[in-house]
A and B are shown apart, each in its own frame.
Chain A
């Protein structure tokens, strides 16, 4: 049974983190609305406001004074309006979201992806994801952050990362047009490349794979026999049953399984360490204070759902490179209480938001 009550023993820890989050929020707002450091988008936005973010944003909750962040603001150019003045002379990456709903959203990046994954690296055990082990990254690259991020994670831990690309936009197109044979042929093509690499490089001990590709890979080979010790899995929805199936069968209860929830806009949410009491609910906690995930009532977006209740996911990103207050994600989730390791809200059973009239093609990779 998933815990849905706040542990009273955590109150002081929660309060301490909340204070850090509030202070961090003030710093980030000050940075983005300062002409010396901020980006053209927010500086121009502030000019149209009849209130002063510097003065009126004194806590994380004050961010509700902003209208919800519109995803349309990230679709199309000019992308440079998002580059903070402080980073004008730095090399800038641009990463895109999946592109399953028209023009993809773009987010600029300088170092955030490296920082996010270095922080994530601290949550990995050296036994399950050994230092100096090589990795295989089996998932989308192209305009996405994922490939560079996983490669950086691997390098940060002293390894070398082998990569096999999978283009999810092509997969979506094949599915939408009903060409399932081609879709499976493409998947086989991806898996064959992965198998070739795994067979040729003995030091590959860690794997990133999307859920579908992990299943497809494990249909062909035992990862235990291939010497894999840890699997980092994400990119699409992970159901409870998939979670159990992956741990018990695909990975034969011998390989560490590390599910994550992340995207280009927010960064990377880590999972709460596996606890049988959670009934295989995959529970994620955001990288606070760099990003927060809130679960809000779908019809009342400024009200948090109760713990244990399903609501719509709202993301807030608070880094010096990117400020995104109150973005309503295309997902819904259970709101779950803080835990010892992550004394701030978590989310469980993340899945596509059921309130949309037209279902989005999801989970293709």
Chain B
């Protein structure tokens, strides 16, 4: 059976303990993944050469990253003692996680884009100063001296299994010269492993990479011993790190589409945008819309969106028309569906998609389960289902006057506000709850990589210092 090893400074290590990955639909074993004990992570991070990438300029690392982008999409790369083609990767990713093949391929495209456009991405993070300043430590920018030093000597990441596209978020750490230590999601070692292999094949020294599949305790130790890190998880997982400035948290997004008074009167042209924002990428990402807020016509908008989403079916992951990811563990789907049913027992809220579809949202096929898209009409914005995010295409539709929206929407990773009302725009600009703000009919999932949200990796890794340099002679 395929074995996915731990990588200790890029060197494969087979643990005596492993987790078996099975095909989501057939249950057939696919791979065993070596598991690291937490002490190994602590020991290895302490011995990792934190300056191993300092011998390269940032531009040289850009070049390696661009080369890696191509290798990621085309090359046969090592995985354990086997080789993995891009097609193998997509098939394994889909089989292991239940994500549709098309979804896996699209996400790989996102990763490729970030690696290929790494200079633009880093330019967005650094606001465009000459990256040679990072090589030398100081330089001239806009007529003044600018100096930075890297405070994040080793960068760690505790990664999720739900959406391969998120791996594009840690990739810039490498070109910013920080060796990385990754804990992959339990079902998704495939993507980070392949990215690492493509970077090594492109010339990045193997000593810059740690890859440690591990348990909860191991993840905690990784976050503790790395200088800077990012973690993905639900609110209960991320809460202990809320006040830890060394850990950048990527939790639920609660992303939203807001309509102003005009748009709520003339809402029909925006239905496709709302549907796409809810369901793209299987609706599993924090950048999917999980709520639509409108001052008027809430029920009519909810009906229109629900009518479209009610047409979606649970199709096998290999079907090119599949849009929904399967839950390899049907109990998770059961629990999510129960939470929604529990919320619907409260007055007024209605699952409109279920009404249009005429069948329940929970679908079981063999050993797997699906949750069909769900749109809940919540006249009361305080309803328990009004501001929820789940691991499938789910959205509530809520009515709220525009002047109250900025305070009422709560923390929202992305807000797409369909408005040309300057006063509404101004109040949203002043709202501290929003990480990424779009004005106009822009889908929530459409991200411009030169503008980071949810933290800036460069600022996370580097600190600016006051610096003067007077030649001595």
Contact = CB atoms under 8 A, between A and B. Distances in A.
A219 B37 contact: no
A107 interface: no
A239 B224 contact: no
B459 to A, nearest CB: 23
Given A184-B224, A280-B16, A241 B240 contact: no
B442 interface: no
B189 to A, nearest CB: 17
Given A180-B220, A241-B35, A279 B16 contact: yes
Given A180-B224, A219-B46, A242 B39 contact: yes
B37 A241 contact: yes
A212 B220 CA distance: 14
Given A180-B240, A241-B17, A242-B37, A219 B220 contact: no
Contacts of B235: none
Nearest to A215: B39
B130 to A, nearest CB: 38
Interface string B15-55: 11100000000000000000111011011001000000000
A178 interface: yes
A76 B40 CA distance: 41
A343 to B, nearest CB: 27
A178 B240 contact: yes
A81 interface: no
Given A180-B240, A184-B224, A245-B37, A240 B17 contact: yes
A171 B63 CA distance: 48
Interface string A210-253: 01100100110000000000000000000111111100011000
B16 A240 contact: yes
Contacts of B35: 241
Contacts of B220: 180
Contacts of A249: 40, 43
Nearest to A244: B16
Contacts of A184: 224
A45 B35 CA distance: 49
A245 B46 CA distance: 16
Contacts of B46: 219
A215 B220 CA distance: 15
Contacts of A244: 15-16
B274 to A, nearest CB: 39
A202 to B, nearest CB: 26
Interface of B is mostly: helix
Given A180-B224, A280-B16, A245 B240 contact: no
A284 B224 CA distance: 33
A180 B241 CA distance: 10
B215 to A, nearest CB: 10
Nearest to B46: A219
A218 B44 CA distance: 12
Contacts of A178: 240
A242 B38 CA distance: 9
B40 A245 contact: yes
Contacts of B39: 211-212, 215, 242, 245, 250
A219 B225 CA distance: 12
Nearest to A178: B240
A184 B221 CA distance: 10
Contacts of A180: 220, 224, 240
Contacts of A218: 43
A339 B225 CA distance: 42
Interface in B290-339: none
A245 B17 CA distance: 11
Contacts of B40: 241, 245, 249
Interface in A160-197: 178, 180, 184
Interface in B219-237: 220, 224
Given A184-B224, A242-B37, A219 B16 contact: no
Given A241-B15, A280-B16, A215 B42 contact: yes
A241 B17 CA distance: 6
A184 B36 CA distance: 20
Given A180-B240, A279-B16, A280-B16, A239 B37 contact: yes
A212 B42 CA distance: 11
A165 to B, nearest CB: 22
A308 to B, nearest CB: 17
B13 to A, nearest CB: 10
Contacts of B37: 239, 241-242, 245
A363 B217 CA distance: 10
A153 to B, nearest CB: 25
Contact of B16 (A215, A241, A250): A241
B247 to A, nearest CB: 12
Contacts of B17: 239-241
Contacts of B240: 178, 180
A236 B53 CA distance: 40
Contacts of A243: 16
A250 B217 CA distance: 19
A249 B37 CA distance: 12
A228 to B, nearest CB: 17
B15 to A, nearest CB: 5
A87 to B, nearest CB: 42
B392 to A, nearest CB: 28
Contacts of B217: 363
Interface string B195-237: 0000000000000000000000100100010000000000000
A236 to B, nearest CB: 12
A249 B44 CA distance: 11
A219 B224 contact: no
A56 B17 CA distance: 46
Contacts of B42: 215, 219
A245 B220 CA distance: 19
Contacts of B15: 241, 244
A286 B39 CA distance: 28
B328 to A, nearest CB: 20
Nearest to A220: B46
A363 B216 CA distance: 13
Contacts of A242: 37, 39
B324 to A, nearest CB: 32
20 contacts: A178-B240, A180-B220, A180-B224, A184-B224, A215-B42, A215-B43, A218-B43, A240-B16, A240-B17, A241-B17, A241-B36, A242-B37, A243-B16, A244-B15, A245-B37, A249-B43, A250-B39, A279-B16, A280-B16, A363-B217
Interface of B: 15-17, 35-37, 39-40, 42-43, 46, 217, 220, 224, 240
Given A215-B42, A219-B43, A244-B15, 18 more contacts: A180-B220, A180-B224, A180-B240, A184-B224, A215-B39, A239-B37, A240-B16, A241-B15, A241-B35, A241-B36, A241-B37, A241-B40, A243-B16, A249-B43, A250-B39, A250-B43, A280-B16, A363-B217
Q: Which 8 residue pairs are nearest across A and B when measured between Cβ atoms?
A: A215-B39, A241-B17, A240-B16, A241-B37, A280-B16, A242-B37, A178-B240, A241-B15
